[in-house]
């Protein structure tokens, strides 16, 4: 048996008012209308499963998602399950998008969900982690090596004052940016 990591990406089927409000704040209050065209929010779950094959791990996770509401509510969410190695964090990004992954430093969500999974009789799930993934649509595709891209994402991704930053609080959260070409940058550790 080996540990297989699967990702469950969960998004709303309807308009996400939180993302809509955050986009307005970025464009209007932070003056980034010329740089940011769109913003989407998803939950990204990473589930580690002890399994003999990748298919067995996928079957375990698919069963959990379909039998429980721990990851997604079928009435309001859409979801996709992928293997971590087949879908790097940048796989769903367009050439003009950057992802900002945010998680609470001392989150109890993963351990709580793991405990609930164990309560269903499933013992081969060994770890669960949850991130909020903000997909930031830029008005222009970023250029690899351009320091202005990292500066813009840092300005968007990390709150440093009342008018600067939005997507993560560096005092209580960790965050990292995923650039379209797969490069990751730590925003707040």
Q: What is the CATH number of the domain that holds 32?
A: 3.30.1280.10
Class of residue 95 by CB neighbours under 10 A (exposed 0-12, middle 13-18, buried 19+): exposed
What is the signed CA dihedral for 113, 117, 120, 126, rounded to 10 degrees? -160
Tell me the CA distances in angstroms from 167 to 6, 109, 131, one per residue in order: 25, 19, 12
Residue 92's SS3 state is coil
- Cβ atoms 154, 147 nearer than 8 A: no
- Structural domain total, the chain: 1
Q: Report CA 46 to chain centroid distance, whole Å.
A: 10
* pTM, entire model: 0.91
What the block records as the tokens of 102 is: 């945010």
Q: What residue numbers bound the domain in which 91 lies?
A: 2-188
∠ CA 187-168-153, rounded to 5°: 45
Tell me the CA distances in angstroms from 108 to 64, 103, 117, 120, 164, one per residue in order: 19, 11, 14, 19, 28
Locus of tokens 């509510």: 73
What the block records as the tokens of 182 is: 């797969």
Which helix (H) or strand (E) covers residue 54, if one does? Answer: helix 54-67
Print pLDDT tens along the chain (189 aa).
899 999 999 999 999 999 999 999 999 999 999 999 999 999 999 999 999 999 999 999 999 999 999 999 999 999 999 998 754 455 578 999 999 999 999 999 999 999 999 999 999 999 999 999 999 999 999 999 999 999 999 999 999 988 789 999 999 999 999 999 989 999 999
């Amino acid at each position: 048996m080996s540990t297989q990591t699967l990702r469950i990406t969960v998004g709303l089927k309807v308009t996400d008012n939180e993302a809509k409000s955050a986009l307005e704040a970025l464009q209007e209050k932070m003056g980034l209308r010329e740089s940011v065209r769109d913003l989407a929010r998803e939950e990204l779950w990473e589930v580690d499963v002890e399994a003999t094959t990748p298919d067995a791990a996928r079957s375990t996770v698919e069963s959990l998602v379909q039998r429980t509401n721990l990851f997604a509510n079928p009435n309001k969410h859409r979801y996709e399950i992928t293997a971590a190695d087949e879908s790097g964090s940048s796989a769903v990004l367009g050439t003009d998008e950057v992802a900002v992954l945010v998680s609470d430093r001392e989150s109890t969500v993963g351990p709580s969900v793991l405990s609930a999974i164990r309560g269903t009789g499933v013992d081969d799930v060994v770890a669960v982690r949850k991130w909020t993934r903000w997909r930031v649509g830029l008005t222009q595709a970023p250029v690899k090596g351009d320091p202005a891209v990292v500066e813009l994402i840092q300005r968007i991704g990390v709150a440093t004052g009342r008018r600067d930053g939005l997507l993560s609080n560096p005092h209580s959260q960790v965050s990292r940016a995923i650039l379209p070409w797969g490069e990751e940058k730590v925003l707040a550790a």
